[in-house]
């Protein structure tokens, strides 16, 4: 793995940066999810403050050459397959400038090393680019077959990827 992507756990001082990046993320995501902007012109992400008040949540920022390049919001809790506790990639975003250059895969791998254990990645089934990305990233990381399952949660079809990270 190269060292061009710097990943840091974001403290509360980075809340505004994450709020702004989340707006870009949700804008991109609105292609697959019917979400509207509020009257203030923002989508908002009301759960963001929980990443600094609940120990089962971790916010990460990615930088390339000191510049913000993306983020990952990770949670630890019950898995969707009925298994015990798993890591879950709640949100994941790479700025368009850095996409299709290996930045997303490197960011994901760094997060997986920082959070060893069982993982699940949920992707809306209609989000074909994300499904393809996660399949490739997990296959590269795990050097083996990728476990996927189609699930429906509250009438939404998801692809669920499961694997294990052993850390560094």
For residue range 79-121, list pLDDT tens digits in order: 876 668 999 999 999 999 999 999 999 999 999 999 999 999 9
Length of the chain: 168
Closest CA to 61 of 101, 16, 124, 117: 16
**Whole-number pLDDT of residue 18:** 98
**Whole-number pLDDT of residue 78:** 86
| Predicted structure pTM score | 0.92
**Whole-number pLDDT of residue 11:** 97
Domain count, the chain: 1
Residue 54 burial (CB count, 10 A): 13
Q: Where are the beta strands (DSSP E) in 37-130?
A: 57-64, 67-78, 85-94, 117-124
Range of the domain at 34: 5-165
Tokens of 130: 């994300």
CATH number of the structural domain spanning residue 30: 3.40.630.30
Closest CA to 57 of 109, 9, 108: 9
Tokens of 120: 């699940």
> Which mean pLDDT values do the consecutive 10-residue runs of the chain (168 residues) have?
82 97 94 91 96 98 96 92 85 96 95 95 93 95 87 90 86
**Whole-number pLDDT of residue 1:** 42
């Amino acid at each position: 793995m190269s060292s061009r992507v710097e990943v840091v756990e974001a403290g509360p001082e980075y809340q505004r940066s994450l709020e702004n990046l989340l707006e870009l993320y949700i804008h991109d995501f609105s292609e697959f999810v019917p979400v509207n902007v509020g009257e203030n012109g923002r989508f908002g992400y009301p759960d963001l403050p929980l990443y600094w008040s609940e120990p089962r949540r971790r916010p990460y920022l990615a930088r390339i050459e000191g510049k913000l390049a993306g983020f990952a919001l990770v949670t630890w809790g019950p898995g969707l397959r009925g298994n015990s506790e798993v890591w879950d990639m709640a949100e994941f975003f790479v700025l368009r400038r850095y996409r299709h250059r290996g930045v997303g895969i490197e960011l994901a791998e760094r997060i997986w090393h920082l959070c060893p254990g069982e993982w699940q990645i949920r992707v809306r089934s209609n989000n074909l680019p994300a499904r393809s990305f996660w399949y490739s990233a997990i296959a590269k990381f795990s050097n083996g077959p990728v476990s996927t399952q189609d699930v429906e949660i509250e009438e939404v079809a998801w692809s669920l990827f499961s694997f294990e990270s052993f850390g560094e």
